[in-house]
Amino acid sequence: MNRMKTAISILVFVSLSFGNCRSVHNNDPFSDALLYYLLFNAIANASEENCNFSPSASFDSLYSDQWHLQNISQFGGTFGEDANVNNVWNQGISGNQVIVSVVDDGLDIRHEDLSSNISVTARGLNLLNNTIYPTHSYSNSFHGSAVGGVIAARGGNGIGVRGAAPCSKLVGVNLLEKSTIYTSDEYRAMVNETARVSISNNSWGSPDGYGWLWPSSALWQQGVNEGTQKGKSGKGTVYVWAAGNGANGGTIASPILVDNANYDGQANYYGVMAIGGIGQDGTKANYSESGANLWAVAHTQGNNATAYTTAISTTDATGAFGLNAGGTSGDYSQSNYTKKFNGTSSATPLAAGVIALLLSQYPDLNWRDVRELVAYSARQNDPGDTDWSMNGAGLNINHKYGFGALDATNLLMNASNWVRISTPQIIDAKAILSPNTPIPDNDLVTGATVNYPVTTGISYIEYVDVEFTSNHTYFPELYVLITSPSGTTSFLSEAHACANPYSNTLCTSGNTSIATMTGSSTYRFGLARNLGENPNGNWTIRVYDASATDTGSINSVRLRIYGR
């Protein structure tokens, strides 16, 4: 384990880069001005169209490449290993009237395969120029348009690709083109048009590949809280969040563990569903981050034992802009599309699209209903993986996969007889326990143990926050585990490689504590795996030190339980 302090290879995912430096040169200012004028008037006076989609009578020229929607082993993947949307489409369910917010680096509202599905009732937001037009401002921005295509590229129009919810509507929030993103920007991105927005897609988050702890801001949390409490006429906006692409700092053949989704204080927040990525064979993409906070997984580019497999076909920024300038490095000759989208950035909008199908059929569901339906209907992918277990409520759980793979057919089937959650959510912040228990150095056997008794009026867990305080001088060498009264054990942190994002140097022995990384000696972890369990009884926190020299204690622990 000492090599973690002396060697690291930081994961680089070039195709997911948001960096840019050149403004787009607009070649048709008159048509843009006219489009924006019409859009502004439409927003003020219109209602969303009723869209109908029938897959049997539809054609989209690149649909056969979209294995994540229909996997017939066209690229060597496992037959049927996909989002299972076709049975739902065949019932006439296609996301009609559901508005999905794309919080990203912009959204090409002029795109030939997206323009018909741009919302005319919800206003976009461009935080770069403070307008309602979220279109990309830089020539190499594309990410938000690729995300939008996975969700809602128009189905059956004879061109391009198809979204998972091909009749849903998009509203763009251009957040990521800003060179400096303030917490107030994060707040505005979370609350933009939440009265109309059913789902907020967030294929962004803390920097990947550092093994660093990144707490979320209070303003961002406030935005998510307002969205879940007040969004969509009180039913709550559903937030889906990319789990992250920083798990592997080495190679496919020789991986080095770096990031965990629980190190991202946005992905581990109770108000969001963290989404990981699986490939065309149903196994975890090597970069996709595991975590006790992970809710579910969806399909994206994966890998076999030695190489990456087929990526996702979707919309690109129009023309020569974006990822594909037309045949770029083996990409499509049609420059408005790309077949190279990947990462949990692509898995997350697939989840959003599947949830849009659900909400178009059952618009009365609230955000808590949706979360639990996703969990209870998830499919156990990669059934041979040894981390699968069952929690105390009978749910399949896995640190790599959450509750399993999103499955549109299962989701809609379970929703047909779902008893709506009408009980208000209780949030019970328990007392801080301060044992100051020393953590034995370089010891993976005995470790340090803290017992945390819980008595609460909650009998059904929806989520748990674990506030963990430690002065250990090298946090990345610790294993932190928690076991519930029902016997479910979850890893909150694992020994991992680490680099300082501010100096771009290896993390330093003796100077990489929780406080060094976050400014506070307390970090909040998220715990999804105990859904449905009764929290009453004794919880056990265990900490093991995987390497010599650095020492410290478990200073305090506090649980915050969400449930009913």
- Residue pLDDT, tens place only, 282-312: 999 999 999 999 999 999 999 999 999 999 9
Domain with CATH 2.60.120.260 in the chain: 425-563
Of 137, 141, 313, 345, the active-site residue reads 345
* Angle between helical axes of 344-361 and 143-152 (0-180°, round to 10): 40
Percent of the chain that is helix, strand, coil (3-state, to 5): 20, 25, 55
Give the pair of three-digit tokens for residue 470.
């430690």
345 as an active site residue: the answer is yes
Supply the Cα-derived Rg of the chain in whole angstroms: 23
**Predicted confidence band at 375 (pLDDT cuts at 50, 70, 90)?**
very high
Can you read off the two tokens belonging to residue 51?
Answer: 């869209």
Query: Which residue among the candidates 68, 111, 136, 143 is catalytic per the annotation?
Result: 143
In this prediction, residues 166-195 reach a mean pLDDT of 98
| CATH architecture of the domain covering 22-415 | 3-Layer(aba) Sandwich (3.40)
DSSP per-residue letters across 20-58: ---B---S-HHHHHHHHHHHHHHHHH--PPP----GGG-
Set 104, 264, 316, 550: catalytic member = 104
Query: Could you report the per-residue pLDDT of 104-128, keeping only the tens digit for each?
Result: 999 999 999 999 999 999 999 999 9
Q: Where in the chain are all domains bearing CATH 3.40.50.200?
A: 22-415
In this structure, what DSSP letter does residue 200 have?
E
Using the structure block, give the residue that is written with the tokens 């340090």. Answer: 448
pLDDT of residue 7: 34
Q: What is the CATH number of domain 425-563?
A: 2.60.120.260
Residue 10 has pLDDT above 50, yes or no: no
* Residue 45 clears pLDDT 70, i.e. is over it: no
| Residue 21's pLDDT band (cuts 50, 70, 90) | very low
Least confident of 60-64, 235-239, 326-330, 345-349: 326-330
* Reported pTM: 0.93
Residue 40 pLDDT grade (very low, low, confident, very high; cuts 50, 70, 90): low
Q: Is 143 a catalytic residue?
A: yes
Contact 436, 553 (CB under 8 A): yes
For 281-284, the CB contacts below 8 A with 24+ separation are 281/77, 281/78, 281/81, 281/309, 282/78, 282/81, 282/381, 282/382, 282/405, 283/381, 283/382, 283/385, 284/382, 284/400, 284/401
pLDDT score, position 37: 59
pLDDT, mean of residues 252-259: 97
